[in-house]
């Protein structure tokens, strides 16, 4: 049977084909329960098929949260179609995780549809009031470019990066502002991701200015919003008063500082950056937990915090210069969290997650908490696939 070239279809017919593919794929995934992994009891430990668990969780993100008409991810799986800009960045990240891990081209359809839908919902551009939101969108699209080679993602990233650099000012000695209308508020959430982005742009495109940006942003963040004794990352500084909000310590700020330190360690091969990441990681897994499980930070924005920490903690775990015993301890921590989530905090067979990884959400959950669960399961599946869990 001979294949048909796209040119043999009219534009309208081709769009119909794509539409029906996007309809059929989630239906097929939703019906594919054969590989849904249920935990088994070994002699001393719970045995979970992490590849199958990741397949199930990332497919559930699409089958239950994807807005087929708008080509973006809904706020929840129960009829709230409100569009949220920054959570959609992390939804793209999960699709990239799944695509890179499996090679399943179905995820490419959604990545491309996402590009059109999210840009349209954001007013047909990528600009945003919040610098951290743009940083997340740019980071996800840079990963899309690396995964696919599609130049549209590269162009979008470079466009967004120009917006982000304008957020730097000398209030509080430097740093990128949280939002355009508040140049005086300097936050960890707008500087950690920016340092990661600048470092990755340098790695990908080799412009020295980007490396300088990465160092400048990181040094400001470390000197201003990081406790040098224990690695706690403070939330923000008000440059009008110099007041630092030290009682707001969240897993996602810990995660992005760890991510920035790892990126700079990879650029310069200096142990000091790795030490910074280790200090922040040790603080997180000892202080921001409830009985060794990352704590519940609520829904809405807070629902995403743990997943962001896990993403960059997973990068740290894979660093070659990490002490073997420390790597083993970090791996045990992330695997324990994933096992707890899958055995205690996942509603099956729908594969839904809540902000509390020890408690099932029932039939309804929000996009942000679902994404954190997906990121944890995808991270462990990645570590499993690459041999890190065999130690």
> pTM to 2 decimals?
0.90
Question: Above 50 in pLDDT, residue 15?
Answer: no
Cβ atoms of 252 and 309 closer than 8 Å: yes
Distances, alpha carbon 251 to alpha carbons 43, 298, 332, 384, in Å: 34, 12, 18, 23
Cβ atoms of 61 and 29 closer than 8 Å: no
Cα(275)–Cα(82) distance, rounded to whole angstroms? 41
Question: Above 50 in pLDDT, residue 20?
Answer: no
**pLDDT tier, 37 (very low <50, low <70, confident <90, very high otherwise):** low
DSSP 143-187: HHHHHH--HHHHHHHHHHHHHHHTTB-SGGGS-BEEETTEEEEEE
Strand partners, 67: 72
CA dihedral 354, 232, 187, 376 (to 10 degrees): -30
Query: 3-class SS at 67?
Result: strand
Cα(230)–Cα(347) distance, rounded to whole angstroms? 36
Looking at residue 53, its pLDDT comes to 97
The Cβ of residue 192 has, within 10 Å, a number of other Cβ atoms equal to: 31
Looking at residue 157, its pLDDT comes to 98
Distances, alpha carbon 252 to alpha carbons 230, 257, 306, 381, in Å: 16, 9, 6, 21
Cis amide leading into 149 (omega within 30): no
Q: Residue 371 is encoded by which pair of tokens? A: 């994404």
Q: Residue 170 is encoded by which pair of tokens? A: 């000398």
The residue with tokens 């470390």 is 222
* Percentage of the chain lying above the pLDDT 70 cut: 88
**Those residues with Cβ within 8 angstroms of residue 217's Cβ, 6 or more apart along the chain or in another chain:** 168, 175, 176, 191, 194, 195, 198, 260
Please compute the mean of the pLDDT values over residues 35-62 and round it to a whole number: 76
Q: Is residue 350 exposed (0-12), middle (13-18) or buried (19+ Cβ within 10 Å)? A: middle
- Mean model confidence pLDDT for the chain: 91
Cα(139)–Cα(142) distance, rounded to whole angstroms? 5
Looking at residue 11, its pLDDT comes to 41
Q: Which of 185, 153, 179 is nearest to 166 (CA)?
A: 179
- What single-letter DSSP state applies at residue 38? P
Radius of gyration of the chain (CA): 21
The residue with tokens 């944890």 is 376
List pLDDT tens digits, range 342-389: 999 999 999 999 999 999 999 999 999 999 999 999 999 999 999 999
Looking at residue 336, its pLDDT comes to 98
Distances, alpha carbon 117 to alpha carbons 101, 126, 137, 173, 343, in Å: 24, 11, 13, 38, 35
Phi, psi of 183 (to 5 degrees): -70, -15
Cα(79)–Cα(201) distance, rounded to whole angstroms? 38
Please compute the mean of the pLDDT values over residues 116-145 and round it to a whole number: 97
The residue with tokens 């045990």 is 332
List pLDDT tens digits, range 236-287: 999 999 999 999 999 999 999 999 999 999 999 999 999 999 999 999 999 9
Cα(48)–Cα(44) distance, rounded to whole angstroms? 13
List pLDDT tens digits, range 73-129: 999 999 999 999 999 999 999 999 999 999 999 999 999 999 999 999 999 999 999
Q: Residue 206 is encoded by which pair of tokens? A: 């080799």
């Amino acid at each position: 049977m001979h294949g048909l070239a796209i040119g043999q279809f009219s534009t309208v017919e081709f769009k119909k084909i794509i539409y029906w593919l996007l309809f059929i794929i989630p239906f097929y995934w939703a019906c594919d329960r054969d590989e849904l992994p249920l935990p088994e009891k070994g002699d001393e430990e719970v045995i979970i098929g992490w590849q199958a668990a990741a397949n199930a969780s990332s497919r559930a993100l699409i089958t239950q949260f994807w807005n087929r008409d708008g080509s973006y991810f809904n706020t929840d799986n129960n009829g709230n179609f409100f569009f949220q800009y920054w959570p959609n960045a992390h939804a793209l990240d999960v699709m990239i995780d799944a695509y890179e891990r499996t090679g399943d081209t179905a995820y490419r359809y959604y990545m491309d549809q996402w590009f059109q839908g999210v840009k349209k919902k954001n007013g047909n551009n990528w600009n945003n009031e919040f610098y951290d939101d743009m940083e997340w969108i740019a980071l996800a699209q840079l990963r899309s470019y690396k995964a696919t080679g599609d130049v549209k993602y590269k162009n979008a990233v470079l466009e967004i990066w120009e917006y982000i650099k304008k957020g730097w000012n000398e209030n509080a000695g430097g740093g990128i502002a949280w939002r355009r209308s508040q140049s005086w508020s300097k936050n960890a959430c707008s500087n950690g991701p920016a340092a990661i982005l600048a470092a990755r742009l340098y790695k990908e495109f080799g412009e020295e200015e980007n490396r300088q940006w990465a160092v400048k942003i990181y040094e400001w963040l470390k000197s201003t919003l990081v406790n040098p004794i224990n690695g706690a990352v403070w939330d923000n500084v008000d440059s009008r008063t110099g007041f630092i909000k030290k009682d707001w310590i969240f897993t996602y700020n810990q995660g992005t500082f760890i991510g920035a330190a790892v990126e700079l360690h990879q650029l310069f091969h200096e142990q000091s950056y790795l030490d910074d990441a280790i200090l922040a990681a040790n603080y997180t897994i000892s202080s921001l937990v409830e009985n060794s499980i990352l704590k519940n930070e609520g829904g809405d924005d807070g629902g995403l915090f743990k997943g962001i920490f896990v993403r960059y903690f997973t990068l740290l775990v894979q660093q070659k210069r990490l002490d073997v015993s420390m790597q083993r301890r970090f791996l045990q921590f992330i695997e324990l969290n994933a096992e707890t989530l899958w055995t205690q905090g996942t509603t099956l067979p729908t594969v839904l997650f809540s902000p509390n990884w020890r408690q099932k959400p029932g039939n309804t959950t929000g996009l942000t908490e679902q994404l954190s669960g997906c990121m944890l399961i995808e991270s462990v599946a990645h570590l499993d696939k690459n041999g890190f869990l065999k130690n």
